[in-house]
Chain A
């Protein structure tokens, strides 16, 4: 039994190292292709783009979101803004009504049916060749759209371009930690872009060719992750998705552990269930790296984190049990306790070196992601406390997502 657990442990470590090395090698291969454009760029032509803002109880941020669209460095007559109030119960409708006066803005109000239904309503009213959403809690950088559109201009095979999503106005430790994680996300997305294996087209400011929806159909519920489902569907149909690393979108992030937990539970649940829905795509070379690398990598991550968490819990319980035995047999006895550090007792088992290597590669991903998102090589303290915080809480939403999948229980949106 013990040897089976040990073999599983070593296999998972091997696969985790493999994944990180694979990303690193991809980075080395393509590093010269990663460009951050700091100045304004011009396109040969400016195609019309529809940007849909779907909102449900977003009174605090929706005004600023729409303002960020108005501030885009893109010809105003080429941007159509469709704002859909998905049955908000707060002051959202009154706020968005003020924007109805603009000629390129249309507002809609409907019964609450979920984000995908709001986006589909916008799709029905889209007349342009390009369509994108902007979540009502996110804000587009003025240069984001033009930079995204430059990708479409240079390659007619590109069907969707995803931006670099980073954290807006981080105030506390939870948000600071997420900022680091989002930077890592920028790096991973860029690498997956090089591999043709992007598995999510995020709600904030991903721009699609409208023909994607004409060909493949509208958004689906996608287990409350419609932005992941459409990416899976595109990959299944061999539609190319790119990542524009210097198109920045800032998103508001959960401020408390509870909110973060619910958000991530929804994301992981979405990944597991979309993967199950598209299981026919896994390990089929016809579907490229998405099938051979992205999906297996996600599955390995979920298994590794779950396994490691169980192992840590087992060790913790053993430790507490041994302390209870000490208390039971000799009581509180702290006399002559020797706290001298002796390097002899440092653990030197071989997997420790590999775990350290994985940590270094993850830190490298964070630093590179930051460089891609902010143009600067920088280390921050939050990169250090990211590990203890996420090591404790990430397994909880992963295990909970697996549990919810087994019980077929859909997690709440927020």
Chain B
């Protein structure tokens, strides 16, 4: 009977298995870092673009609106947002991902301020929603509201949605929360045309509000229209 147990082999296989685990861990970590680097480079690019748009706007706003409105960044910001969310779920909530999320929030605020300025100065038809949610606790209404906003954004190109995690530790986000008096018990919360909407809002409800916002803009002439028209002609 072959009942001799080769303990050495059991041990060697154990070591090989440990080695395979460590290699898999290293590989996963390495590729994870590559993805974080990718996120960083997208973010840096967006930061430069926003800074460039701001500068361009400052230089040219008094001359022409045409050039400035061409540099809309919503697509890239949106993609970055999706990648960051995925990164948070799949790469683990590493310090780097949460740092990138802070940076992303800041970029969104800058984009929001710039786009609002362009919209009012150049008469670009647009609507803005600031959306506050939480990941600190299970918020099923937040998940549903996110779906509604994604659907709405897909439908209206001119609609820009900026999402902020309530628990983001960034003074600029905290300032927004303070300005609009948003409490963590009222999430999800939305700011549309400076109105605070708390709790879940249906697609139909938000759609009618967005349309109303577009209508208001049509009746209101842009602030810098006469001036820029004169100068560009």
How many angstroms between the C-alpha atoms of A347 and B89 in the bound complex?
11
Residues of A within 8 A of B (CB): 14, 17-18, 21-22, 25-26, 29, 157, 195-196, 238-240, 285-290, 292, 325-326, 328-331, 333, 335-336, 344-345, 347-354, 357
**Cβ contact of B21, chosen from A240, A328, A354, cutoff 8 A:** A354
CB distance from B18 to the nearest CB of A (A): 9
Partner of A329, one of B17, B90, B144, B155: B144
Q: What are 26 of the A-B contact pairs (CB < 8 Å)?
A: A17-B17, A21-B20, A25-B9, A26-B9, A29-B9, A157-B1, A196-B2, A196-B3, A285-B5, A288-B3, A288-B4, A289-B2, A325-B143, A326-B147, A329-B148, A330-B150, A330-B203, A331-B203, A336-B154, A344-B83, A344-B86, A348-B27, A350-B25, A352-B28, A353-B28, A354-B21
Q: How far is the CA of A78 from the CA of B55 in the complex (A)?
A: 100
Contact A21 B3 (CB under 8 A): no
Please indicate the chain A residues that have their CB under 8 angstroms from the CB of B38 in the complex.
Answer: 344
The answer to whether A18 and B14 have CB atoms under 8 Å apart is yes
CA separation between A34 and B25, bound complex, in Å?
35
Contact at A25–B13, with CB atoms within 8 Å? yes
Closest to B1 in A: A238
Q: Which of A22, A240, A335 has the most CB of B within 10 A?
A: A22
Chain A residues whose CB sits within 8 angstroms of the CB of B203 once the complex forms: 329-331
Question: In the complex the two chains form, is A238's CB within 8 Å of B155's CB?
Answer: no
Render B1-38 as a binary contact track against A, CB cut-off 8 A, 1 for contact: 11111000110111011001101110111011001001
Q: What are the 4 tightest A-B residue pairs by CB atom distance, in nearest-first order?
A: A196-B2, A288-B3, A350-B28, A336-B154
With both beta carbons as reference points, the residue of chain B lying nearest to A287 in the complex is identified as: B3
Complex CA distance for A328 and B147, rounded to whole angstroms? 10
Determine the distance from Cα of A350 to Cα of B23 in the docked complex, in whole angstroms. Answer: 9
Interface residues of B (CB under 8 A from A): 1-5, 9-10, 12-14, 16-17, 20-21, 23-25, 27-29, 31-32, 35, 38, 83, 86, 90, 143-144, 147-148, 150-151, 154-155, 202-203
Contact of A330 among B21, B83, B151 (CB under 8 A): B151
Q: Which residues from B are CB-within-8-Å of A351?
A: 24
A337 → chain B closest CB, angstroms: 8
Does B13 lie within 8 Å of A21, measured CB to CB?
Answer: yes
Q: Is the CB of B27 within 8 A of A350?
A: yes
Given contact pairs A288-B3, A330-B148, a sample of 20 additional A-B residue pairs in the complex whose CB atoms are under 8 Å apart: A14-B21, A17-B17, A17-B20, A21-B20, A196-B3, A238-B3, A286-B3, A287-B3, A289-B5, A325-B147, A329-B151, A330-B150, A349-B28, A350-B24, A350-B27, A352-B28, A353-B23, A353-B24, A354-B21, A354-B24
* Chain B residues in 8 Å Cβ range of A348: 27-28, 31-32, 35, 90
CA distance A348 to B38 in the complex (A): 15
* 8 Å CB contact of B154 from A25, A239, A333, A354: A333
| Complex-state Cα separation, A344 to B82, whole angstroms | 11
Q: Which residues of A contact B16 (CB under 8 A)?
A: 21, 25
- Chain B contacts for A29, CB-based, 8 A: 9
Contacts of A357 in B (CB 8 A): 20, 24
Distance in Å from the Cβ of B9 to the closest Cβ of chain A?
A: 7
Distance to closest chain B CB from A359 (angstroms): 14
Q: Contact: A240 with B20, CB < 8 Å?
A: no
Q: In the complex the two chains form, is B5's CB within 8 Å of A329's CB?
A: no
B147–A329 contact, CB under 8 A?
yes
Q: Is the CB of B2 within 8 A of A240?
A: yes
Bound complex: CA of A25 vs CA of B32, how far in Å? 31
B96 CB to closest chain A CB, in angstroms? 15
- Alpha-carbon gap, A141 to B173, bound state (A): 78
A237–chain B nearest beta-carbon distance, Å: 9
CA A326 to CA B24, docked complex, whole Å: 35
**What's the nearest-Cβ distance from chain A to residue B45, in Å?**
15
Q: Which residue of B lies closest to A194 (CB)?
A: B2
A240/B27 contact (C-beta < 8 A), A14-B17, A17-B17 known = no
- Cα of A292 to Cα of B4 in the assembled complex, Å: 11
Interface core residue of A157, A285, A329, A354 (most chain B CB under 10 Å): A329
Chain B: CB-nearest residue to A348: B31
Is the CB–CB distance between A335 and B13 below 8 Å? no
| Chain B nearest CB, measured from A20 CB (Å) | 9
Checking B2, B21, B24, B83 against A195 with a beta-carbon cut-off of 8 angstroms, the contacting residue is B2
Query: Are B144 and A325 in contact (CB-based, < 8 A)?
Result: yes
CB distance from A342 to the nearest CB of B (A): 8
Which B residue sits closest to A356, measured CB to CB?
A: B24
In the complex, A290 Cα to B10 Cα: how many Å? 14
Tell me which residues across on chain A come within 8 A of B32, comparing CB atoms: 348
**B148 → A minimal CB distance (Å):** 6
A96, chain B: closest CB distance, angstroms? 38
Report the minimum CB–CB distance from A98 to chain B (whole Å).
43
